[in-house]
Copies of this chain bind each other. A is one copy, B any other.
Amino acid sequence: MNIDHVAIVVNDVDKAASHYKNILYVHEVKFETIATEGVKLAILKLNNARIELMEPINDDSPIKKFLEKNGEGLHHIALETNNINNTIQNMNNCAIKFLGNVRTGSENTKIIFIHPKSFHGVLLELCEYAK
């Protein structure tokens, strides 16, 4: 597996992306809004992986609740798999608990989240890119 991205909650994705881009030698920045997740993203491409900055776009967004409780900071890490359904099946055999079902994430990936209780307090995302 690869680390695909690290996701960070911020108050203002435009400002934060500009700051990260200037300092971290980012190749490319792409913005994307995922209405179903209630977030606007800035995807920062580094050499081997991505940093995703996330800003809530409405009051129902789980990211909004995270911001109110914790302030800006690390939110989750995403691991890339070649076959998300196989990975889910293998993890189910190990009693890993998922949050909801497979849905569409950034850059048209198939994604699913794993409960932090299954990975020592870490919210993990699995993602699969379209072939």
A105 interface hit (Cβ, 8 Å): no
Instruction: Map CB proximity to B onto A67-104 as digits: 1 under 8 Å, 0 otherwise.
Output: 00001111011010000000000110010100000000
Q: Evaluate contact between A116 and B73: CB separation under 8 angstroms.
A: yes
Known: A74-B74, A77-B74, A79-B24. A46 touches B120 (CB 8 A): no
Residues of B within 8 A of A90 (CB): 23
Known: A8-B120, A72-B120, A120-B72. A3 touches B1 (CB 8 A): no
Identical copies in the complex: 2
Q: What is the size, in residues, of chain A's interface with B at 8 Å between Cβ atoms?
A: 37
The 8 Å CB contact of A96, one of B23, B25, B47, is B23
Q: Evaluate contact between A71 and B121: CB separation under 8 angstroms.
A: yes
Q: Evaluate contact between B120 and A19: CB separation under 8 angstroms.
A: yes
